[in-house]
Amino acid sequence: MSLRCMSLAIVAGAILNLNACTRLEPLPEWVQTPTPQELDEVLSGAVLFDAPISDFTLPDYPLFELTPQMRMLAEEVALQHRGASARAEALHQLLLSSPMTGGLGLRYSALETATAGEAFEDRRINCLSFTLIYVAMARHMGLKAEVNDVQIPPSWDLRDDETFLLFRHVNAKVMLPFGDQLVIDLEMERYSPMYDQTVIDDQRVAAQFYNNRGMELIAKGQRREGFLHLREALSLDPQQSFVWNNLGTLYKREGHERQAEIAYLQGLALTPSDLTLMSNLNSLYQATGQEHRAAYFYQRAREHRNSNPYYLYSLAQEQLAGGNLVEAERYLKAAMNQESHEPRFYALAAEIYDRRELPEKADAMREKAQRWKEEVYL
351 or 158: which carries more pLDDT confidence?
A: 351
Residue 88 has pLDDT above 80, yes or no: yes
DSSP code of residue 255: T
Residue 72 has pLDDT above 90, yes or no: yes
Q: Note whether 233 and 240 are within 8 A (CB).
A: yes
pLDDT score, position 11: 40
Distance between CA atoms of 200 and 132, rounded to whole angstroms?
12
Q: Note whether 186 and 301 are within 8 A (CB).
A: no
SS3 category, 26:
coil
> In the chain, what are the helix, strand and coil shares in percent, each to the nearest 5?
60, 10, 35
The letter for the amino acid at 10 is I
Q: Note whether 234 and 218 are within 8 A (CB).
A: no
pLDDT digits (tens, 9 = 90+) for 145-156: 999 998 876 554
Name the percent of the chain lying above pLDDT 70. 88
6-10, 112-116, 177-181, 296-300: range with lowest mean pLDDT:
6-10
Distance between CA atoms of 93 and 32, rounded to whole angstroms?
50
pLDDT digits (tens, 9 = 90+) for 17-55: 333 344 567 889 999 999 999 999 999 999 999 999 988
Q: What is the pTM of this model?
A: 0.81
pLDDT score, position 311: 82
Average pLDDT over residues 339-349: 90
pLDDT score, position 252: 95
Residue 5 has pLDDT above 70, yes or no: no
pLDDT digits (tens, 9 = 90+) for 270-327: 999 888 899 899 999 999 999 999 999 999 988 888 888 888 888 899 999 999 999 9
Tell me which range, 191-195, 237-241, 305-309, is most confidently predicted by mean pLDDT.
Answer: 237-241
Distance between CA atoms of 14 and 24, rounded to whole angstroms?
26
Average pLDDT over residues 328-342: 91
pLDDT digits (tens, 9 = 90+) for 249-273: 999 999 999 999 999 999 999 999 8
Task: Give me the phi and psi of 276, to 5 degrees please.
Answer: -65, -40
The letter for the amino acid at 270 is L
Average pLDDT over residues 101-113: 86
Give the bridge partners for 164, in sequence order: 158
Q: Note whether 241 and 277 are within 8 A (CB).
A: yes
Region for 65 from its dihedrals, namely left if φ exceeds 0, alpha if ψ lies in -120 to 50, beta otherwise: beta
Distance between CA atoms of 136 and 142, rounded to whole angstroms?
10
Calculate the alpha carbon distances from 79 to 86, 141, 371 in Å.
11, 9, 38
For the chain, which domains are there? 1-31+62-200 (3.10.620.30), 37-56+201-300 (1.25.40.10), 308-377 (1.25.40.10)
Task: Give me the phi and psi of 125, to 5 degrees please.
Answer: -140, 150
pLDDT score, position 153: 66
pLDDT band at 13; cut points 50, 70, 90: very low
pLDDT score, position 188: 61
DSSP code of residue 173: E
194 or 90: which carries more pLDDT confidence?
A: 90
Contacts 24+ apart (CB under 8 A), 76-81: 77/137, 77/141, 78/141, 78/142
Distance between CA atoms of 355 and 363, rounded to whole angstroms?
12
